[in-house]
Structure 1
Amino acid sequence: MSLALAHVATAPAHSTQVFILSPGTTTLPAGAAGDLSAPAQQYVATALADDQPLVHLNHFSHHHFFVVLADKPTPEQVAEALRRSGHTLHGHLKREKVTEVFIHNLSQTPDADLLLAEGLALSAYQFEGYKTDAKSRTAATLTTVSVVGEAAAPAAVAELDGLLQGVFLARNLVNAPVNKLNAVQLAEHIAAAGDQAGYATDILDLAKIEALRMGGLLAVNLGSPEPPTFSILEWKPAGAQNAKPFVLVGKGVVFDTGGLSLKPTPNSMDMMKCDMAGAAAVAGTLFALAKNQVPLHVIGLVPATDNRPGGLAYAPGDVITMHSGLTVEIKNTDAEGRLLLADALSFARKYDPELVIDLATLTGAAVRALGTEASAVMGTAAATTKEQLSAAGYRVHERLVEFPLWDEYADHIKSDIADLSNLGKGEAGQISAAKFLERFAEGYSWLHLDIAGPAFLTAAESYRGKGGTGTGVRLLYEFFKLVLSA
């Protein structure tokens, strides 16, 4: 999809325009009346008096829309209501086959136009897909969203555009099937995105992974006909304000059959092309940071493979040696994501990081606990860091719920014959998975995000759409902005 965001001084005559109004508005402000006839102004005033949140005037050659801000108790709830208004607005624009729209902010909320544009753009996203019949493809008619006037600075519009490009990159990667995006192709796509945005990528091949003795990644890859990759993404601007880098780690299982512990199908294996959503989020975040020249040194680590039962596939009962030197007894080959992440978390120690955050579609337990409305967060980072990340989550409506990592949960991953078991008890699965990762994240500040619920939706939900949502990109970008402003 190629939707463009722009900033313009004025909207041309007879163009489709959107006017954002403050809650309780009952008469049109002068800037919204424009060239409307008296009857048209009266129609809008009557609709506003009836508390209609969106009023539509069809002039046949163009349209006028009036969006009234929701009266919510917090700025974060107002922001989310605006994004959802953008989704509703997109439905109208799509039906009317509007190609370009101009947004005016006449409300008292300074960034209302940007928030509406964000929801509108996220709703307009379409995965191009692979259909060959032109009639069966739904063409995206909306191509340009322009923010008008001085309410939003051109730089702020450009920043939002760069961020959304990162989200769209993540969505595109998640939505691609494994026969179009194996581990090697994922690494190549990430590197190509880096060339476009400005971050550097180093792709480690099988020989280098073997030399590093990444036993977790190598074990999961044993059943695959394709080699694994380990991608190192780095955004290091000249004016970086952090002495030690932030490191992001993304689970890159491009397809998960469960290995020899085969997943049931349907409703379990069918959507497992999304099991690399953590990797996609890391790539999308690095893209947005580089595109917008954010002055922070950030490194991304993406271990990638598929998990299949073929060939010399690893088996329940095997004992493997990880990059860190710890041994792991394999109780279930479908608990594979933590093995990839563990090697990457151990590798991250070489950077002496300020903070490490990993993202993964890791457990069904997180989905059962939180649904698709939130991600689980656990880790050893300071309370202030967790508070910053949580605040970022509320700002962009990618909310987090913290679960404990009490010492007692270490009993869930004990093994009789190895240092650790890769599978915990039936209860608290999201916690035992994080407790496993904790053993490989020693010596630095660390947070784990289990994004299994919101990363991929089987039914469309407002501006998040259907399929890959790009969860994590807007969250981490907002977090890094909070870090800079602290």
Structure 2
Amino acid sequence: MQTIIHKTDSYTDTDNVVFPVTDFDMLEKELFTEDEILYMETFYNEHKQRQFSFNRLSNVVFVILMDNERDQNRRMQNYREQGVRLQAEANGHKLNAVVVVDRENKPDEILAFAEGIALRNYQFLKYKTKASEQINSLGSVYLLSKNLSEQAIENMNIIVDACSRSRNLVNEPVAYLNAVKIAEEFEKMGKEAGARVEVLNKKKIESLKMGGLLAVNKGSVDPPTFTIMEWKPADAKNKKPIILVGKGVVYDTGGMNVKTGNFMNDMKMDMAGGAAVAGALYAIARAKLPVYVLAFIPATDNRVNGNAYVNGDIITMHDGTTVEIINTDAEGRMLLADALSYAKRYKPQLVIDAATLTGSAMRAIGVYGIAAMQSKAEREFKKLAESGEKVYERLVELPFWKEYEDELKSDIADIKHLGGANAGAITAGKFLEHFTDYPYIHLDIAGPAYLDKPFSVYPAGATGIAVRLLYQFIESKS
């Protein structure tokens, strides 16, 4: 169930009401007794308690004392995170709806509060046999804010929906979501959003000589796919497209370099980059943003059989580059390289890829941000980083120095696909850069794509990371 955000002009005595305020003086005093006001002030002053609830039997009234943070981006995130806390308490009370009242004329902050509620209220219960007993009760959030537009609310619902769809795909097991099925899901998303979608089958992929994608697919019983989603509105402000490329490894065993122990447990999530760019394009198209955008998702699983690709193989890629295979568990970059090479035919304004690519990025950044690199895209990277600060999907730029290319030199092929033990996230990015000739940004989302436990607006499991980031970036160009 998705939590839907609505606009309202009033509330009644039986509505569950939420007051996010920066000062208790901003409350509607007639709703509270003097003892209740004193209670809140005392517990805040003595214990720094910020969230209070009063059960009136017919309804529940919530008061949330907000930080008066000066930094706009941090303030918006505070509102989202207080929305997360409210979501938990509202579900604890088994409430179906709440009305959030803007007493301080802060429409953007109130919308961020609702965003936090809706994003964290996500659940994936498809495979629960008693889902009806476990579903969150909170289905609607009504916003009473005079200067908040219906369009802003509609766009937020679109973004939340896109994140939920992305999360659903990442949470699905490969037994359901193989490369063919994920392409079908992308087709459905595109059709609903009004975008054009083309799925290249194995025969077409072979004709395009996408050797990287085909090599990884050799160990699979299912054929690969290459999905192209296109949003090209008549009023587009750009003639050359912005292309979003997402890694679509629907399951990663590591191939012949098989993952051991628990390292394979969550590998259904290795297509999170593909789900992110598809979710972003879905939202962009539904919101009818006047920007020409494409999304490419090459997809396969990486498994082991008697025909799987092996270390020492020399693979000829889409652009003719020969690649020496060093470790079959570095498969994602092989798919992405073909997609990045294919993007050249569109003469793009910018290409951004998103991938759960390296453990190196996860170890360096953790779950709190995205490891990012850029080539010929300094200005665009700055804008993307600003978008990341706004939605709090923050980028950490890693160096992309030419010297890292030395790690990829091969004695028997044009290039190796894997560097040494150090700087793995960077050398992976440098490998991908080899297949570009345009402004390029690489996002390694390995850390925040899938969580063991909830954090901020993200539930445990799939987070939908980068959907909001990419949408915000494209919206800034509209």
- The answer to whether the aligner puts 1:67 opposite 2:61 as a matched pair is no
Hey, what's the Cα distance between the residues in 1 that align with 2:58 and 2:261? 50
TM-score (norm 2): 0.97
Structure 2: give runs of 5+ residues left out of the alignment: none
- The answer to whether the aligner puts 1:345 opposite 2:340 as a matched pair is yes
Hey, what's the Cα distance between the residues in 2 that align with 1:141 and 1:377? 38
Q: Contact between 1:224 and 1:311, CA under 8 Å: does it hold in 2? A: no
Question: How many Å apart are 1:46 and its aligned residue?
Answer: 4.9
2:207 pairs with one of 192, 204, 211: 211
Hey, what's the Cα distance between the residues in 2 that align with 1:3 and 1:87? 12
Question: How many Å apart are 1:401 and its aligned residue?
Answer: 0.7
Question: How many Å apart are 1:40 and its aligned residue?
Answer: 4.2
Question: How many Å apart are 1:153 and its aligned residue?
Answer: 1.1
Query: Which amino acid counterpart does residue 9 of structure 1 have in structure 2?
Result: D
1:95 pairs with one of 86, 92, 99: 92
- The answer to whether the aligner puts 1:117 opposite 2:111 as a matched pair is no
Query: How many residues are aligned here?
Result: 477
Hey, what's the Cα distance between the residues in 2 that align with 1:379 and 1:469? 24
1:302 pairs with one of 286, 290, 297: 297
The residue that corresponds to 1:80 in the other structure is 77
The residue that corresponds to 2:192 in the other structure is 196
Which stretch has the larger CA shift, 149-158 or 312-321? 149-158
2:264 pairs with one of 260, 269, 294: 269
Question: How many Å apart are 1:96 and its aligned residue?
Answer: 0.2
Matches within 5 A, 1:307-318: 307-318=302-313
The residue that corresponds to 1:8 in the other structure is 8
Specify the SS of the correspondent of 1:464.
coil
Question: How many Å apart are 1:281 and its aligned residue?
Answer: 0.3
Which stretch has the larger CA shift, 290-299 or 378-387? 378-387
- The answer to whether the aligner puts 1:466 opposite 2:464 as a matched pair is no
2:329 pairs with one of 329, 334, 353: 334
2:448 pairs with one of 439, 444, 454: 454
Encode CA deviations 1:227-285: one digit per residue, 9 max, x unaligned.
0000000111121111111000000000000000111121x111001100000001110
Which stretch has the larger CA shift, 474-483 or 270-279? 474-483
Hey, what's the Cα distance between the residues in 1 that align with 2:66 and 2:49? 10
The residue that corresponds to 1:26 in the other structure is 24
Encode CA deviations 1:428-452: one digit per residue, 9 max, x unaligned.
000110010011012x111000000
Query: Which amino acid counterpart does residue 479 of structure 1 have in structure 2?
Result: F
- The answer to whether the aligner puts 1:282 opposite 2:277 as a matched pair is yes
2:238 pairs with one of 223, 235, 242: 242
Question: How many Å apart are 1:77 and its aligned residue?
Answer: 1.0
Question: How many Å apart are 1:131 and its aligned residue?
Answer: 2.0
Structure 1 runs (4+) greater than 3 angstroms displaced: 33-52
Hey, what's the Cα distance between the residues in 1 that align with 2:99 and 2:115? 13
Question: How many Å apart are 1:26 and its aligned residue?
Answer: 3.3
Q: Contact between 2:357 and 2:446, CA under 8 Å: does it hold in 1? A: yes
Question: How many Å apart are 1:35 and its aligned residue?
Answer: 4.3
Question: How many Å apart are 1:75 and its aligned residue?
Answer: 1.1
The residue that corresponds to 1:372 in the other structure is 367
The residue that corresponds to 2:166 in the other structure is 170
Hey, what's the Cα distance between the residues in 2 that align with 1:381 and 1:70? 40
What is the Cα-based RMSD across aligned positions, in Å? Answer: 1.6
Hey, what's the Cα distance between the residues in 1 that align with 2:104 and 2:79? 12
Specify the SS of the correspondent of 1:161.
helix
Q: Contact between 2:298 and 2:335, CA under 8 Å: does it hold in 1? A: yes
Hey, what's the Cα distance between the residues in 1 that align with 2:3 and 2:107? 23
Encode CA deviations 1:152-206: one digit per residue, 9 max, x unaligned.
1111111110111111111111111100100011000111111112211100101
Question: How many Å apart are 1:134 and its aligned residue?
Answer: 4.9
Hey, what's the Cα distance between the residues in 2 that align with 1:239 and 1:55? 48
Hey, what's the Cα distance between the residues in 1 that align with 2:99 and 2:359? 42
Sort the Cα spacing of 1:404 and 1:45 in 2 relative to 1 into closer, same or farther, 3 A.
Answer: closer
Sort the Cα spacing of 1:149 and 1:368 in 2 relative to 1 into closer, same or farther, 3 A.
Answer: closer
- The answer to whether the aligner puts 1:475 opposite 2:454 as a matched pair is no
The residue that corresponds to 2:384 in the other structure is 389
Q: Contact between 1:281 and 1:471, CA under 8 Å: does it hold in 2? A: yes
Specify the SS of the correspondent of 1:432.
helix
Q: Contact between 1:365 and 1:429, CA under 8 Å: does it hold in 2? A: yes
Hey, what's the Cα distance between the residues in 2 that align with 1:235 and 1:28? 45
Query: Which amino acid counterpart does residue 168 of structure 1 have in structure 2?
Result: S
Hey, what's the Cα distance between the residues in 1 that align with 2:164 and 2:5? 14
Q: Contact between 2:189 and 2:282, CA under 8 Å: does it hold in 1? A: yes
Hey, what's the Cα distance between the residues in 2 that align with 1:363 and 1:97? 41
Sort the Cα spacing of 1:170 and 1:381 in 2 relative to 1 into closer, same or farther, 3 A.
Answer: farther
Specify the SS of the correspondent of 1:376.
strand
Q: Contact between 1:27 and 1:48, CA under 8 Å: does it hold in 2? A: no
Question: How many Å apart are 1:38 and its aligned residue?
Answer: 5.0
Q: Contact between 2:105 and 2:146, CA under 8 Å: does it hold in 1? A: no
Question: How many Å apart are 1:413 and its aligned residue?
Answer: 0.7
Hey, what's the Cα distance between the residues in 2 that align with 1:109 and 1:447? 34
Query: Which amino acid counterpart does residue 232 of structure 1 have in structure 2?
Result: I
Q: Contact between 1:26 and 1:48, CA under 8 Å: does it hold in 2? A: no
Question: How many Å apart are 1:478 and its aligned residue?
Answer: 1.2
Question: How many Å apart are 1:128 and its aligned residue?
Answer: 2.1
Specify the SS of the correspondent of 1:463.
coil
Query: Which amino acid counterpart does residue 68 of structure 1 have in structure 2?
Result: L
The residue that corresponds to 1:430 in the other structure is 425
Q: Contact between 1:182 and 1:305, CA under 8 Å: does it hold in 2? A: yes
Hey, what's the Cα distance between the residues in 2 that align with 1:44 and 1:28? 13
The residue that corresponds to 1:232 in the other structure is 228
- The answer to whether the aligner puts 1:146 opposite 2:142 as a matched pair is yes
Specify the SS of the correspondent of 1:111.
helix
